[in-house]
Amino acid sequence: MTTLLVAKQYIKNFINKYEVYLKPLLKLILALVSLMMINSKIGYMHRLDNISIVLIVALMCSFMPMNFIVFVSAVFIMMHFYALSLECAAVTLVLFIVMFLLYFRFSPKDTLVVVLLPICFVLKIPYVIPLAMGLLGTPASVVSVGCGVVVSYLIGYVADSTTVLSGMEAEDITTRFRFVIDGLLDNKEMVLTIAAFAVTIIVVYMIRRLSIDHAWTIAMIAGAIVNVMILLVGDLMFDTNVSIVGIFVGTIFSVLIVKILEFFVFHLNYSRVEKVQFEDDEYYYYVKAVPKITVAAPAKTVKRINTPRKRSSSGQSRR
């Protein structure tokens, strides 16, 4: 454990020291992965499906605010949808405007959630996001998580319906609009996922704020159980055909990832809990103090030993 704590301190010191360079690098990687994922799933516009353009745009994102990555990703999605179907791009534009209004109103700082959630869906571990936001965010994070879920299912739905949309006649505009809108509104799996993630965030947030030992660990386990139960019960009620094995495996990996996150953010020593009581003229105060587990990184010291030179025998004879 001491080795892990020392490694943690080294990592934190490294991040604090090179934060100026690591932030643009993180933005570059996020933008690059996000845009490449979009191109791989719905690369209908061949001009955008070009690694040179992706690299140029990702470099631009590295010097811009984090929300610029969300904006660029939305533009890429709409351009690809426009190359496939004008009606699909129009529905997506209206949907994005509504989501941007909700996102910037309630959770404008949750950029990582909107960007990472579609990537986590591709990696089959989307459950890590609601658990992490319940621990690090607020109930308002439900909005950003919901937006990320909608974008993920929208991309998947259009990618699966490419043949149908391409086969419709160009004059049948109303049918295309209805096909896209009905496909989103009738997606019971998407609605169930949004509800499960919202309840998970609220449950985790409420438990981790309790004054109990190991609150974060209890919160993440309870949130994982609630999330699995809602998804399974919803599958039985609405026949969403979710992968039960995928839910359990993805949840286990998500809990492990969130546990690592807890080690870096909220690692406490519950064996040294102290309860303090004091008062002033108006209130009594009952304080529970839990110390953090910290280990200072060992400083490297270089010890130089200078040995005196031996006098040569020839020099002594000359003297």
What pLDDT digit, counting tens, does each position of 91-109 carry?
899 999 998 888 888 888 8
Determine, yes or no, domain membership for 105: yes
pLDDT surpasses 90 at 206: yes
161: confidence class by pLDDT, cuts 50, 70, 90: confident
Query: pLDDT tens for residues 274-302?
Result: 777 878 877 888 777 777 766 665 655 55
Give me the mean pLDDT over the 124-129 stretch: 92
Q: Pick from 104, 13, 39, 101: which is nearest to 65 by CA?
A: 104
- The answer on pLDDT for 49 being more than 60 is yes
186-202 per-position pLDDT tens digit: 888 999 999 999 999 99
Q: Classify residue 7: in a domain, yes or no.
A: no
Q: Among 91-100, 161-170, 209-218, which stretch is predicted with the lowest mean pLDDT?
A: 161-170
CA distance 299 to 295: 12
pLDDT at 178: 83
Round the average pLDDT of the chain to a whole number and report it: 84
Residue 294 pLDDT: 66
Residue 289 has φ and ψ, to the nearest 5°, of -110, 125
Q: Residue 215 — pLDDT band, cuts 50, 70, 90?
A: confident
Look at residue 319 in the predicted model and tell me its pLDDT: 45
Which of the two residues, 68 and 185, has the higher pLDDT score?
Answer: 68
List CB contacts of 21: < 8 A, sequence separation 6 or more. none
pLDDT of the residue at 231: 93
Position 112 in a domain:
yes
Question: How many domains are there within the chain?
Answer: 1
| Across 250-274, average pLDDT | 80
Q: Which of 126, 128, 148 is nearest to 262 (CA)?
A: 128
Q: What is the CA radius of gyration of the chain?
A: 27
Residue 184 lies in a domain: yes
Structure tokens, 282: 């108006």
Q: Is residue 175 part of a domain?
A: yes
pTM score: 0.83
Give percent of the chain with pLDDT exceeding 90. 34
On whether residue 126 sits in a domain, the answer given is: yes
Helix H, strand E, coil C: the string for the chain is: CHHHHHHHHHHHHHHHHCHHHHHHHHHHHHHHHHHHHHHHHHCCCCCCCCHHHHHHHHHHHHCCCCHHHHHHHHHHHHHHHHHHCHHHHHHHHHHHHHHHHHHHHHCCCCHHHHHHHHHHHHCCCCCHHHHHHHHHCCCCHHHHHHHHHHHHHHHHHHHHCHHHHHHCCCCCHHHHHHHHHHHHHCCHHHHHHHHHHHHHHHHHHHHHCCCCCCHHHHHHHHHHHHHHHHHHHHHHHHCCCCCHHHHHHHHHHHHHHHHHHHHHHCCECHHHCEEEEEECCCCEEEEEECCECCCCCCCCCCCCCCCCCCCCHHHHHHC
In a domain, 172, yes or no: yes
Pairwise CA distance, residues 232 & 247, whole Å = 9
Domain residues for the domain of 255 are 85-266
Q: Give the separation between CA 134 and CA 185, rounded to whole angstroms.
A: 27
Do the domain assignments include residue 68?
no
Find the length of the chain. 319
31: confidence class by pLDDT, cuts 50, 70, 90: very high
* pLDDT of amino acid 1: 63
Instruction: Give the span between the Cα atoms of 86 and 180, in whole angstroms.
Output: 11
Mean pLDDT along residues 265-278: 71
Whether 128 has a pLDDT exceeding 70, the answer reads yes
pLDDT recorded at residue 127: 93
